[in-house]
Amino acid sequence: MTKSGLIEKVAEQSPHISKKDTEVVVNTIFDAMTDALTQGERIEIRGFGSFQVKVREAREGRNPKTGDMVSIPAKRTPFFKVGKELKEMVDQVSHIQEGDD
């Protein structure tokens, strides 16, 4: 699903809100999540999962083309951990689909 697909789905579920307003709401949610992660905050959405920033330490790597050692700087990267309910729902659907074969 893409961002525009998500906006479409939300607009379908709330016909009393215009599609333009729905787009503003979705963008506001993503902006708030981005701001929180940028500030190092953790985001937890019950039943879905949590987002947090993890620090990857500086390390030495290897250029796969030349084999030369390269220095990889430390960086902060977003990390998503799936919630228990979402994990169970996805697993349940995969079992149902496997049974249909």
Together in a domain, 3 and 18: yes
- DSSP class of residue 65? T
Total domains in the chain come to 2
Q: Is the confidence at residue 6, as pLDDT, over 70?
A: yes
- Return the pLDDT at 99: 61
Range of the domain at 83: 42-101
- Which CATH number covers residue 97? 4.10.520.10
Name every residue whose Cβ is closer than 8 Å to that of residue 37 and which is 6 or more positions away in sequence.
43, 51, 52, 53, 78
Q: Please provide the average confidence, as pLDDT, over all residues in the chain.
A: 92
Structural Rg of the chain based on CA atoms:
20
Shared domain check, 35 and 22: yes
In this structure, how many other beta carbons lie within 10 angstroms of the beta carbon of residue 99?
A: 7
- Better-predicted residue by pLDDT, 44 or 91: 44
Q: What pLDDT is attached to residue 93?
A: 75
Who wins on pLDDT, 26 or 98? 26
Q: How far is it, in rounded angstroms, from Cα 87 to Cα 5?
A: 22
Q: How far apart are CA 9 and CA 69, in angstroms?
A: 48
Whether residues 14 and 46 fall in one domain: no
Which segment of 6-15, 46-55, 87-96 scores lowest on mean pLDDT? Answer: 87-96
Q: Mark whether 54 and 93 lie in a shared domain.
A: yes
